[in-house]
Amino acid sequence: MSDAPGVGDMMPDIAMETPDGGSVKPSDFKGGKLVIFFYPKDNTPGCTTENVDFSALKPEFDKAGVALLGVSKDTPKKHQNFIAKHALTAPLASDAQEGGLSDALGIWTEKKNYGRTYMGMVRTTYLVGPDGKIAQIWNKVRVKEHAAAVLDAAKAL
């Protein structure tokens, strides 16, 4: 994971699919601040809480001039259902392709759970400055109060 981009590096500019079939990439937000939060799976307790929390604070992020983007490997269709079920307002994107953004960032990685080894997303949030550089990284995020902490950091940037 040592070759993964860190604070001060440019955010890799890899396109992801939006729930409506379009595409989005980090450079689309250049000139403004961006929070990209990567989470393991739609409709699981921690991921639902994280998405609901970011959606609840979206007006505050908007006021601070900060764009939000939630990313998982789930399909655009799953994202549509997730958004509808929980009235999410933070935009989502699918990073399902091999060699995608989460691969480039080193956060799609081997995980172990109950003796089982599998590939999974490490819950990680990136704050990207107007210059496209990574300003802050939250690794192995604990969901409780995370969105509020990210908002404070984004306002301070």
Mean pLDDT of the region 77-81: 98
Q: Is the pLDDT of residue 79 over 70?
A: yes
Q: Which of 16, 24, 47, 71 is catalytic?
A: 47
- What residue ranges define each of the domains in the chain, with the CATH number in brackets? 16-156 (3.40.30.10)
Distance (Å, rounded) from C-alpha 110 to C-alpha 16? 21
Confidence label for 143 from pLDDT (cuts 50, 70 and 90):
very high
H or E element at residue 137: strand 134-138
Read off the pLDDT of residues 15-60 as tens digits, 9 standing for 90 and up: 999 999 999 999 999 999 999 999 999 999 999 999 999 999 999 9
Is 118 an active-site residue? no
- Select from 121, 118, 128, 119 the least CA-distant residue to 72: 121
Which two three-digit tokens encode residue 99? 């060699």
Roughly what angle, to the nearest 10 degrees, separates helices 76-86 and 45-63? 80
Residues 98-121 pLDDT 10s: 899 999 999 999 998 899 999 999
- DSSP per residue over 41-109, as a string? -TTSHHHHHHHHHHHHHHHHHHHTTEEEEEEESS-HHHHHHHHHHHT--S-EEE--STT-HHHHTT-EE
Q: What is the predicted pLDDT for the residue at 2?
A: 52
Average pLDDT over residues 126-137: 98
Instruction: Spell out the residues 6+ positions from residue 69 whose beta carbon is closer than 8 angstroms to its own.
Output: 24, 29, 34, 35, 36, 37, 90, 91, 92, 93
Q: What is the pTM of this model?
A: 0.95
User: Directed axis angle between helix 146-156 and helix 45-63, to 10°?
Assistant: 30
